[in-house]
Amino acid sequence: MKKIIYLLAIAITLIALRACTSANSENLPVTPPTSEAVVLDKFANVAPTPPMGWNSFDAYDCRINEEEFRQVVDYMADELKDYGWEYAVIDYIWWHPEPGNWDTPRRFGHPNIRYKDNGEPLFPEYITMDEYGRLLPSVERFPSAADGQGFKPLGDYVHSRGLKFGIHIMRGIHRYAAFKDTPIKDSEYTAADIAEPWDTCKWCNHMYGVDPTQEAAAQAYYNSLFELYASWGVDYIKADDMMFQDYHKGEIAMMQEAIRNSGRPMVLSLSCGEAPLARADHLVDHSNMWRISADFWDEWDHLRHSFDLLNAWSAHREANHWPDADMLPIGRISLNGRPHGPERMSKFTEPEHYTLMSLFSIGRSPLMWGGDPLSTPQETVDRFLRNKEVLYVNQQSTDNRQVINHRGEAVWIATDPATGDRFLGLFNLKEETSRIEFNFEWEYLRDTYRIRDLWAGEDLGNYEGQFGVELPAHGAGLYRLTRVAEN
């Protein structure tokens, strides 16, 4: 009897639910219209894996020109594209014909601009800008930008080589646009409606912040910027002065909205760091990658700190949203003594190079190479930037996390979702050679595993219970563990 009553109750419930669904079916489509679904997909899935590419800053500072950039693009297409390196990014002040040729009290070669007391630049002819206050590439440095073409010819060239094109921008509106009170394209507003003279970058004096409380005017300005970038074929925006020292929540959200309004998907990469961990949810909601570190250079202390940063951000790493440990200072950097220290090959030792690439791979940081491809030895590129097994860990692994970091020994673990294999990173953070051990019980790995050295490309044999290796000071190893038998 109880069973009959139970079945009747289920039947009545199902009938009621079906009636309710039918009554509201006109208002609740099963799927969105095809066009809307496509739009949502192309913007939401712009960085399903950590972006990989090259950025001009570490080697060229703000001084790269079109000839040099095209040569880098050719190199990337010939030597790196097949390994996943796809973004070619021009860093800051591409609108100035001779940036970095003067000094400030704070920084040798830092490209601040001098202004008169009334706010007018001393040399306005050095500021390449259209009638709407939008910065344009300097024709002296980028000749293909002549006749109002902007970066489109260069973007087309990057795409013709099978790569993607990126540029750096500073948050806000240029001070010269504010001085001239330029109109904001396709709106009733002008620069004076949005410029905040009291809101300037702490280390670069070019821009005024945009007032996010003037929502319509501010969004119209950012829409006009990203409309321009979309017309150039830009795929990647590195937006600077977004998070440190002040967190500019309003302008971050407006940039993301402007990308959607432009109709062209673009990776939104936020700088500089360290990003505030308390803003993690907002960063995930409004950007594709964000700097978790200050400027990262070829110094052991910087690399050592990266362990703490990547570990702290592990819970906020997901497809299309990546904590960014900054560029890879590998190879020849700081050409002509700028932007940081003398021109040099990276000061990282060989073991530190392995630690850098192993940590950034198993920690799934975006990989943006900063060295000069035109003068870095090919051996360095082959060894550290073209190992497909190592790069696979960066691009495809999941459940990436630190297991231990204690007394100069660090262990990271991850999973290959395609096979169930585990990836293991062993790191010697000490000042002397040391044996670094992984106890299988830490991860409840109670079977026999075949272990492969990903850097050497060699199988090391079968292990159960424990695995350890001798590593030089500041050195690392990266391994694949494949289960071969159950115990």
pLDDT of residue 104: 52
Check whether the bond before 274 is cis (ω within 30° of 0). Answer: yes
Give residue-wise pLDDT tens across range 42-74. Answer: 788 999 999 999 999 999 999 999 999 999 999
pLDDT of residue 3: 40
pLDDT in tens, the chain (487 residues): 434 443 444 344 333 433 433 333 333 333 333 333 444 467 889 999 999 999 999 999 999 999 999 999 999 999 999 999 999 999 999 999 988 665 554 455 567 788 899 989 999 999 999 999 999 999 999 999 999 999 999 999 999 999 999 999 999 999 999 999 999 999 999 999 999 999 999 989 999 999 999 999 999 999 999 999 999 999 999 999 999 989 999 999 999 999 999 999 999 999 999 999 999 999 999 999 999 999 999 999 999 999 999 999 999 999 999 999 999 999 999 999 989 999 999 999 999 999 999 999 999 999 999 999 999 999 999 999 999 999 999 999 999 999 999 999 999 999 999 999 999 999 999 999 999 999 999 999 999 999 999 999 999 999 999 999 999 999 999 999 999 977 6
**Residue 239: C-alpha distances to residues 168, 242, 255, 344 (Å):** 6, 7, 9, 27
Q: In what order do the strands lie in the sheet with 52-55?
A: 322-324, 289-291, 267-270, 236-240, 164-170, 87-90, 52-55, 367-369
pLDDT of residue 101: 61
Residue that is written with structure tokens 């971050």 in the block: 252
pLDDT of residue 26: 34
pLDDT of residue 108: 54
341-378 CB burial, b ≥16 within 10 A, e <16: eeeeebebeebbbbbbbbbbbbbbbbbbbbbbbeebee
pLDDT of residue 42: 78
pTM as predicted:
0.90
3-state secondary structure string across 211-252: CCCCHHHHHHHHHHHHHHHHHHCCCEEEEECCCCCCCCHHHH
**Residue 412: C-alpha distances to residues 308, 372, 428 (Å):** 12, 30, 12
d(C-alpha 243, C-alpha 278), whole Å? 12
List the domains of the chain with CATH numbers.
Answer: 2-30 (no CATH), 48-396 (3.20.20.70), 403-485 (2.60.40.1180)
